[in-house]
Amino acid sequence: MDRLIDSHCHLDFPVFADQLDNVLQVAKEVGVTEFLLPATTYQSWQTIYELTIRYPQIRAAYGIHPYFLAQETLASVDELEQFAATHNAVAIGETGLDFWPDQIHRDTQIHFLEKQLQVAENLRLPVILHARKSYDELYALVKKYRIPSGVVHAFTGSLVQAKRFIDLGFVIGIGGVITYPRAQKTRQLAMSLTNNDFILETDAPDMPLFGYQGQVNMPAQIVKTAEVLADLRSQSIVDVAHHSRNNVLRTFPKWY
Ligand SMILES: [Zn+2]
C-alpha cells in the first residue's frame, strides 16, 4: 500500500507539544508518513516553519483561519506574502469563511479571505479552504482569483457544491465525518466522487472519529477513515491510499 499522507493536521497545537515524536512514530507504524500543517494564526507561522526544519516529513501552509480572526490584525495578513515566499510554503491556508453563529463579522472574514487569495495568486500557490455554512459564498470569491489548485477541507456540502470546486481545480478533503453513520450526505458524497477528486485528512487534534468522541484525534487514525472510505466506494484500501496520495501530490506541486 502507498504510504498515507495526512493532508490536514494541526501538529503545532499545544496538545502535541510534548509528544510529537511519539505521535509521528505511532503514525509511521501504521503507514502514515507525511503531514501537511495548515497554519491557523499569525503566531503559528514561525512554529510551523521550525517543525518543517526539524521534521523532513512535515509540510507547511501559512494563513489565518477565519475562526481565529478576533485576535488578528490586518498587519499580520500583510506579512503573509513575504513570509510564505521565504519559508517553504506548499500552500496558503487555512483560510475561508465560517458562517456558524457567533463568528466574527462576515465582512471582516471576506476581507481576510480575499487578501489571502491574492497572496496565493501572486505566489501561484494552492489554497487550503475552511467552510461552514458558506460554500456558495466561498466559491464566488475563490473564482475571482487565479488559484492553481487547492482543497476544500472537511467538506460537508452537496455534490453540486463539490463539483463547482472540482471544476476550479480543487480536491475535496475527506476526514473523520464519514465514519459517523448519521453523516449520510457526506458518506454519499464520498461514494460519488471520482478517483481524482478526494484527499484524506484528519484535522487532528479535532474531529475525532466515530467511537472516539471526546478524545484527541491523531494522524494515525487516518487509516480508519481510509478503510471506511474504501468500504463506501467498494474499492480496496490500497486503491484509496494510492489515489489520495496522487491527488495530494498533484494538488500541492511543491511537496518535494
Ligand atoms: Zn484545520
Q: Which segment of 18-22, 40-44, 72-76 scores lowest on mean pLDDT?
A: 72-76
Q: Sorting pLDDT into bands at 50, 70 and 90, what band is 64? A: very high
Neighbours of 234 (CB within 10 A): 8
Distance 191 CA to ligand 1 centre (A): 23
Q: What class, spelled out in words, does domain 4-251 have in CATH? A: alpha beta
Task: State pLDDT tens for residues 153-189.
Answer: 999 999 999 999 999 999 999 999 999 999 999 999 9
Query: Is the predicted pLDDT of residue 95 greater than 90, yes or no?
Result: yes
Residues paired with 59 in a beta bridge: 36
Mean pLDDT score of the chain = 97
Domains of the chain, residue spans: 4-251
Q: How far is the CA of 238 from the centre of ligand 1 (A)?
A: 26
**Mean pLDDT in residue range 40-58:** 97
The single residue listed with the C-alpha cell 521550525 is 50
CA of 38 to the centre of ligand 1 (A): 7
Q: How confident is the model at residue 136 (pLDDT cuts 50, 70, 90)?
A: very high
Cβ neighbours of residue 13 closer than 8 Å, sequence gap 6 or more: 205
**Cell numbers linked to 78:** 500583510
Percent of the chain with pLDDT over 70: 100
Name residue 37's beta-bridge partners.
Answer: 60
Query: What is the pLDDT, as a whole number, of residue 203?
Result: 98
Confidence at residue 72, expressed as pLDDT on a 0 to 100 scale: 82
User: 55: CA distance to ligand 1 center in Å?
Assistant: 20
Q: Kindly report the CA angle at 218 between 215 and 3, in degrees rounded to 5?
A: 155
Q: How far is the CA of 236 from the centre of ligand 1 (A)?
A: 27
Are 62 and 104 within 8 A, CB to CB?
no
Higher pLDDT, 76 or 213: 213
Predicted TM-score (pTM) above 0.95: yes
Above 90 in pLDDT, residue 2? no
Report whether pLDDT(71) > 90.
no
Residue of 167, 97, 173 whose CA lies nearest to 138: 97
CA of 9 to the centre of ligand 1 (A): 6
At residue 4 the predicted structure's pLDDT band, cuts being 50, 70 and 90, is very high
Compute the distance from residue 202 Cα to the ligand 1 centre, in Å.
9
Cβ proximity of 151 and 231 under 8 Å: no
Ligand 1 centre distance from Cα of residue 192 (Å): 24
